[in-house]
Amino acid sequence: MIVLGSTGSIGVNTLEVAKKFSIDIEVLVAGNNIELLNKQIQEHNPKTVVIANKDDLFKVKHPNVLCGEEAILKIIEDSKSDLVVNALVGFLGLRPTLTALKCNKRVALANKESLVACGAFIDTAKIQPIDSEHFGLWYLLQNRPVEKMIITASGGAFRDWDIKKLQRATLADTQKHPNWSMGQKITIDSATMVNKMFELLEARWLFGEGKYDAIIETKSLIHALIDFKDGSTTAHFADANMQLPIAFALDSKMQENILSHVDLLKVGSLEFREITVERYPVWEIKEELLQNPSRGVVVNAANEVAIEKFIAKEIGFMDIAKNIIKAYEKFDAQPKNVDDVFAIDKEVRNFVRVE
Ligand SMILES: NC(=O)C1=CN([C@@H]2O[C@H](COP(=O)(O)OP(=O)(O)OC[C@H]3O[C@@H](n4cnc5c(N)ncnc54)[C@H](OP(=O)(O)O)[C@@H]3O)[C@@H](O)[C@H]2O)C=CC1
Ligand SMILES: CC(=O)[C@@H](O)[C@H](O)COP(=O)(O)O
Ligand SMILES: [Mn+2]
């Protein structure tokens, strides 16, 4: 298989699962972490490697190394593998998803920005999501009428902070996720609750029209719940470890033991909280966005630029949501095709950059 983003949090977990299942790795794609990439090359012996920057080419211990975004698309087109794991972060992951699907490959999709920005034009039949909440929903779904699908949020790094202090929160503060160890960008998205809004959109594209909502479960032991029309509610419990969703994304008929069971006596109690607009201002547009999911492209582009500005200390933490909402109010056109998605993405980025 091909692993895009092999040196990231999902990429590393994917390679561990691949080792356990003895899956052959044809291509590794990484960004700047060449030290880790070299270790992965030694262990998995890929035929081809792609990295982000040509200045790093000489550091990679492999005879066949390419670089840049076009090279990622080319190796997908040229490869024999039937399965592409897309664990790239951000809008950068969209073209590889589209290319893999065009080449009739299966896509194990962690790159949620692909569906958020372009879900209307992606055939989800060939996609197995790598996200704990969608895995949970998929696991719970059975042939009974559903009332509502609910996903859980941890509440992120600032769930217990005094709201008045949030504007001055630093990048380092955002990274103190209570339950999960993940890449920098998704950990910021968890703190703003953008991650959960993205996941509601993903769910909408993956499972179709219906009622979707999210609540905070502070231990991240329940990942999804389904309210069935008959009055039953079922919940998916599993430890906060992505290897379970990854294992099923690589092999949906998977029968192996991947994790220890959650020990409810050790857990003792669970706490649920509402997601409020006061702490998570982006939640204000959640319902409207779910009614018009194609507008996800606007939210995604605004979020990526706002995060860049936050990291560069040009704006405070609470301004990330303000930038998103402002862009959302300004750009209300819905993309009619994939070209529109790229055009709107560009326009929104230009707008937020100068805001
Ligand atoms: N982490 C998690 O538990 C979950 C993540 N996701 C989603 O999965 C995706 C990946 O997340 P995560 O693993 O946390 O992110 P990371 O930041 O940990 O990893 C991102 C990967 O993309 C690579 N990369 C970045 N830019 C480039 C580039 N220009 N060219 C080639 N490779 C590049 C990075 O390389 P390098 O590090 O070498 O620079 C790294 O391998 C995101 O969309 C996220 O929202 C979804 C559910 C759970
Ligand atoms: C592991 C995973 O699936 C993440 O998307 C996780 O859900 C992020 O944590 P939050 O619940 O804080 O957004
Ligand atoms: Mn998730």
Query: Which among 92, 108, 129 is the end of a domain?
Result: 129
Percent of the chain with pLDDT over 70: 100
**Together in a domain, 182 and 306:** yes
**Together in a domain, 48 and 141:** no
**Together in a domain, 141 and 123:** no
DSSP 76-111: HHH---SEEEE---SGGGHHHHHHHHHTT-EEEE--
The helix (run of H) or strand (run of E) holding residue 323 is helix 318-330
**Together in a domain, 49 and 181:** no
Query: Which among 107, 129, 151 is the end of a domain?
Result: 129
Closest CA to 327 of 195, 304, 314, 91: 304
Give the residue numbers spanning the domain of 269.
133-354
Beta bridge partners of 109: 86, 129
Place 335 in a pLDDT band, splitting at 50, 70 and 90: very high
Residue 167 CA to ligand 3 centre (angstroms) = 25
The per-residue pLDDT of the chain, averaged, comes to 98
**Together in a domain, 139 and 125:** no
**Together in a domain, 227 and 276:** yes
Percent of the chain with pLDDT over 90: 99
Write down the pTM of the prediction.
Answer: 0.98
Closest CA to 86 of 8, 180, 153, 175: 8
CB atoms under 10 Å from CB of 350, counted, come to: 12
CATH number at residue 7: 3.40.50.720
Residue 10, CB-side half-sphere exposure with 13 Å CA sphere: 28
CB atoms under 10 Å from CB of 201, counted, come to: 25
CA 9 and chain centroid, separation: 11
Place 39 in a pLDDT band, splitting at 50, 70 and 90: very high
**Together in a domain, 125 and 156:** no
Q: What is the model's pLDDT at position 174?
A: 98
**Together in a domain, 203 and 215:** yes
CATH number at residue 224: 1.10.1740.10
Which DSSP letter does residue 352 get?
H
The ipTM is: 0.99
Query: Which among 97, 129, 161 is the end of a domain?
Result: 129
Which DSSP letter does residue 250 get?
H
Q: How far apart are CA 234 and CA 200, in angstroms?
A: 18
Closest-approaching ligand to the CA atom of 240: 2
* Strand blocks (E) in 250-320: 272-273
**Together in a domain, 110 and 172:** no
**Together in a domain, 224 and 95:** no
Residue 333 has pLDDT above 90, yes or no: no
Which DSSP letter does residue 156 get?
-
Residue 133 CA to ligand 3 centre (angstroms) = 5
Top mutation candidate among 32, 38, 182, 239 for ligand 1, by most atoms within 8 Å of CB? 182
Q: What is the model's pLDDT at position 212?
A: 98
Residues lining ligand 2, Cβ inside 6 A: 131-133, 153-154, 156, 180, 190, 195-196, 242
Reduced to 3 DSSP states, what percent helix, strand and coil does the chain have, rounded to the nearest 5?
50, 15, 35
Q: Is the CB of 11 under 6 A from ligand 1?
A: yes
**Together in a domain, 208 and 258:** yes
**Together in a domain, 263 and 211:** yes
Q: How far apart are CA 246 and CA 105, in angstroms?
A: 17
How many structural domains does the chain have? 2
The tens digit of pLDDT for each residue in 9-20 reads: 999 999 999 999
Residue 286 CA to ligand 1 centre (angstroms) = 25
Residue 21 has pLDDT above 90, yes or no: yes
Residue 36 has pLDDT above 90, yes or no: yes
Place 251 in a pLDDT band, splitting at 50, 70 and 90: very high
